[in-house]
Amino acid sequence: MAQKPTILTTTLWDFPSQQYGDEQQGDKNYKGATPAYILWNLLQRYTKPKDLVIDPMAGSGTTLDVARDLGRRALGYDLQPTRPDIFRCDARKLPLQDEKASFVFIDPPYSTHLEYSDDPRCVGKLDAQNRDYYEAMELVIAEIDRILRPGRYMALYVSDSFQKGRPFCPIGFDLFEIMRKRFEPVDIIAVTRRNKNLEKGNWHAAAVEGNYFLRGFNYLFIMRKPDAARDRRGPKEVAEPRIPNPESAIRHQNPRTEERPGRPAGQRNIGPGRAPGRRPGGFKPSGRKPER
Ligand SMILES: C[S@@+](CC[C@H](N)C(=O)[O-])C[C@H]1O[C@@H](n2cnc3c(N)ncnc32)[C@H](O)[C@@H]1O
């Protein structure tokens, strides 16, 4: 049985496998499947049971399976559906009303590295050396903004791209800049890549010989859609964590607990910092009305 997920508390994530526990989440043999642990952590923090989670590029359906495992509702879309509960459509035009989603996750193609389908609308047919890739992703991000409820969160998982003999493409930075036009940055996580190619000695030898680097991590960008009315009223009082038993969950991750200056020794830092105007959705006082 694959290791059970735990709540992660630093901005560096690493996972032993694509799937957790003894259930299936997505398909570990699907090229480009997202690690299910990522979805588990995001949904624990930024959603609550029955929330509607959307994945506009659902691939093998990892988001849908984790969302349902956690009692969230989920809808997945893709140009090339791999199973009957994924609807065929272009992520630039989702069949959803405005502001219906409580959370959106997206793991788009990173340039032309993988062949997903023959559909000419596939973003994986667009080379990130060219503007077309970013123009397409800008439309996808605008569509996410349209369907997401104000005050709620989205996350985008992506890698930069490098191909021998061609200029480096900082896809992460470029997509982050596009998202910042619409969303507030909440945090940036680096996720270790467990790509099988990274185990090949000859890939590493070639990287040294050619004086370039292999992609060792993906970015996980977490963004919040502003809520004009609520944000004008200012931040609420400090909320308590809603994650079940967070103390035991975090113990597995980081035995060398950091101390915050001014805190009593032994007290852990749980939950994100409380910057003004920032309200992590998963940390709500129980019994209160959920954020719109
Ligand atoms: C990296 S995969 C997603 C992996 C998925 N999260 C999983 O765990 O299996 C990217 C997906 O984007 C889809 N895709 C590419 N362009 C698209 C578009 N314009 N609209 C919808 N889906 C698209 C591809 O068909 C592919 O399934």
| Domain map (residue ranges) of the chain | 12-232
10-residue averages of pLDDT along the chain (292 residues): 90 94 93 96 98 98 98 98 98 98 97 90 95 97 98 97 92 98 98 84 90 95 93 63 57 43 38 40 40 39
DSSP string, 66-108: HHHHTT-EEEEEESS-SSTTEEE--TTS-S--TT-EEEEEE--
Q: How far is the CA of 109 from the centre of ligand 1 (A)?
A: 6
Nearest-CA residue for ligand 1 atom 2 is 59
Residue 244 in tokens: 């079940």
Residue from 79, 93, 127 whose mutation best tests the ligand 1 pocket (most atoms within 8 A of CB):
79
How many of the other CB atoms lie within 10 Å of CB of 84? 6
Cα-only R_g, the chain: 19
Ligand 1 centroid – CA 78 distance (Å): 6
Question: What pLDDT score was predicted for residue 281?
Answer: 42
Superfamily of structural domain 12-232: Vaccinia Virus protein VP39 (3.40.50.150)
- Per-residue confidence (pLDDT) for residue 111, from 0 to 100: 85
What is the H or E stretch that residue 219 is in?
A: strand 217-224
Closest CA to 91 of 154, 173, 48: 154
pLDDT of residue 234: 74
Alpha-carbon dihedral 44, 49, 50, 56, rounded to 10 degrees = 10
CB of 143 closer than 6 A to ligand 1?
Answer: no
Asked whether the beta carbons of 45 and 243 are under 8 A apart, the reply is: yes
CA distance linking residue 2 with residue 208, whole number of Å? 34
* CA dist., res. 187 & res. 156, Å (int): 11
57 lines ligand 1 (CB under 6 A): yes
* Cα maximum dimension of the chain: 60
- Please give the model's pTM, rounded to 2 decimal places: 0.84
pLDDT at 197: 76
Q: Cα angle at 110 between 162 and 172, to 5 degrees?
A: 75
pLDDT score at 85: 97
127 C-alpha to center of ligand 1: Å? 15
Amino acid 236: pLDDT: 58
Nearest to 102 by CA among 186, 219, 6, 225: 225
CA of 143 to the centre of ligand 1 (A): 15
Q: 25 and 37 in contact (C-beta within 8 Å)?
A: no
